[in-house]
A and B are shown apart, each in its own frame.
Chain A
Amino acid sequence: MEIPLAQEVIFGLVIGSYIALGAVGFTLVYGLVNMINFAHGEFITIGAFAGYLAVVVAGLPLPVGILVALVATAVVGWGIARITFEPMNETGAVPLLMMSIGLGFVLRNGMRVIAGPSSRRVRLDVATYRFDDLGFFVTSQQLLIIGLALAAVVVMHLFLSRTMLGIAMRATSDNEDLALVSGIDTRRIRNAVWLAASGLAGVAGVMLALSQGANPTTGFGQLLLIITAAILGGAGSPYGAVVGAYLLGIGITVSVEFLPSGLTELNATMAFVVLIVVLLIRPGGIVNTEVRTS
């Protein structure tokens, strides 16, 4: 059956939504802690399991479950970062990156030991709204995911533009030395970054638990998409990451229309090709941040 373009755009918005939440956190960490966190996917997985435990096992209503996952992942992610990354903050980008690879292995496989490889779905009563003359449908669950992401983006924007801490964060991201001289407490900012990034990852995790189920590689499976979105948007720029995520999400689903049928599995591979092409022609991404040496 031919899937209409409008439908693909909706699927793309859903994918873009959880990539966006993952990518914003990833890019905040990149911009403010100066590290590429390869364990960011595992933070998302923690959120997915937290959401599953809260909603399915404990039987909490969904909004409460989302809140629980957000807070739990924020605290756990922050705690892990305090133990692992923060003490070696001065060692530079490459050791931090390797540390995060090790951490990702430990968390991913640790969760697999406990939970096993199978997927656990958070099932809701889903209403489907059909727009037959326009040729697409949308489910309440899809609307929820897109709405949640938009809400999170708005909250993030208000935080970054209206609160002292958020403004200080942007200043630090632009120039850490300058921020230091002007008396901004960078320790406090880093704590805030880890809490925010992990919290957003938690929400992304719940979304994934809703749409695909929670398993030990839930987050890891999204990691390269998240990195691609973050770089597409300009590494370190939260707004760019949101734009990058939706471009990527819609790009992936719509491109299925135009690819020869045998190659649709190239979906994810396509994203990596996008990543490399971006790095080649405009490594600074949409907002053109500085990523070349010297």
Chain B
Amino acid sequence: MTDLTSRIEDLPGDAVHAGLIAVGAALLFLASPLFVQAPSGSLVFFEVGVLFVLYAMVLVGLNLQFGHAGLVNFGPVAFFAVGGYTAAVLTAEDPFQGVGLGLPWPVGLAAGVLAAMALGVLLGVSTLRLRDDFLAIVTLAVAEIVHGSIITFRDITGGTNGLQNVPQPVAGTTDAGGNAELVSTVLVFGAFALLFYGLFRRLSASPYGRVLRAIRADEQVTETLGKRVFRYKLVVFVYGAAVAGLAGALLVFYNGAASDTFFTIDMTVIVWVGMLIGGAGSDRGVLGGLAVIMSFQLLTRFFNDSIPFVTQDQFASIRLMLIGLLLMIIIKYRPEGIWGNADRLGVDS
């Protein structure tokens, strides 16, 4: 994982080209009879790797929203969930409970993205004029509403049982068994993550990104200098929603199921802490930060068994405590994160 980030950091200028090539190569690989079996014991790394590339996609959008434009979106998981559940409801075949329309997966994928974008428009139009700390509350509340609705409307979503029998398009391309499908998934999703990183990077590095950073610095001045501030904020909000929705849809196609446990506030916390550790506004740094926090989670998994006198529950709590502590330390002692620019973020350190 850290491997992937360092590779991203070393990329010459343009990640869009690299991303396009990677997507092409990954798709060719899927179509070919070739497959790669990961060495046994490394399974957990690939599982976390899939989550990493999906969270990375969400983070790329979130960083454009907060790191560049200063929009405090505390509900990325809401868009992630709407994308995932829309895709699952449309494509699942005869789920145990809830609705499954059995449509082909590309329809589900497109609909997932569109649904997340629609939520983004709705929320953006109604709240982007509020003070930034109020946007934080509203987005957080919306994430709670979405999660609560998934549980409540069980006739559609399957409630806590989730939705099963969702197609698994990537896994379906190989019947090599073992963990070959996991490797393919990481490759394909990773290629798409790279492509989106490149696209968003081009946005942030252009005059477009300059307007966003001006909005972060002083909305009113930006407006009096002739920029349609509200429209920029709305569009950026919707772009972020779209990639989050896409990532959510990919997640259910990877799992072959949707479950409310994929879409809890923990996901929001992980991407936010990753962004702050890496340095909001640093397009590469935030991915590095995500890698740091997810490695921390992965490594501590192994410790649990080796520490005596600590129950599973206590251990989980300690881990969350440490994440909270890390967040506090970063904000207080290194508000620009590891790779962020203090001058750009307007923080002292």
The CA-CA distance from A247 to B4 in the complex, in Å, is 52
Q: Known: A91-B347, A94-B133, A97-B133. Contact between A110 and B321, CB under 8 A?
A: yes
User: In the complex the two chains form, is B145's CB within 8 Å of A103's CB?
Assistant: no
Q: Nearest Cβ distance between residue A5 and chain B, in whole angstroms?
A: 24
Pairwise interchain contact A102-B327, C-beta atoms closer than 8 A: yes
Q: Does B148 contact A (CB under 8 A)?
A: yes
User: Which B residues touch A110, using CB under 8 A?
Assistant: 317, 321
B134 partner residues in chain A, CB cutoff 8 A: 231, 279, 283, 291
A-side interface size class: 35 or more
Known: A269-B148, A292-B129, A292-B131. A98 touches B220 (CB 8 A): no
Q: Which of A35-86 contact B (CB under 8 A)?
A: 35-36, 84
Chain-A contact segment, one of B57-65, B282-290, B328-336 = B328-336
Majority secondary structure of chain B interface residues (helix, strand, loop or mixed)? helix
Give A264-279 as 1s and 0s: 1 = Cβ < 8 Å from B's Cβ atoms: 0110110011011001
- The residue of chain A having its C-beta at the shortest distance from the C-beta of B134 within the complex is A291
Contact of A106 with B129 at beta-carbon distance under 8 Å, contacts A36-B136, A97-B136, A275-B141 already known: no
Q: Which residues of B contact A103 (CB under 8 A)?
A: 324, 328
Asked if residues B148 and A268 are in contact (CB atoms below 8 Å), the reply is yes
- Which residues of the partner chain A approach B133 to less than 8 Å between Cβ atoms? 35-36, 93-94, 97
The complex places the Cα of A269 from the Cα of B127 at a distance, in Å, of 18
- Give the size category of B's interface with A: 35 or more
A103–B321 CA distance with the chains assembled, in angstroms = 9
Stretch at the interface among A111-119, A130-138, A140-148, A175-183: A111-119
- Least Cβ–Cβ distance between A54 and chain B, in angstroms: 24
Nearest to B311 among chain A residues (CB) is A116
Please provide the 8 A-B residue pairs with the shortest distance between their CB atoms, ordered closest to farther. A105-B324, A102-B327, A269-B148, A102-B328, A109-B317, A106-B324, A109-B321, A272-B141
Which residue numbers of A lie inside 8 Å of B, CB to CB? 35-36, 84, 87-88, 91, 93-95, 97-99, 101-106, 108-110, 112-113, 116-117, 224, 227-228, 231, 263, 265-266, 268-269, 272-273, 275-276, 279-280, 283, 291-294
Residues of B within 8 A of A (CB): 72, 126-127, 129-134, 136-138, 140-142, 144-145, 148-149, 151-152, 219-220, 269, 272, 276, 313-314, 317-318, 320-321, 323-328, 331-332, 335, 347
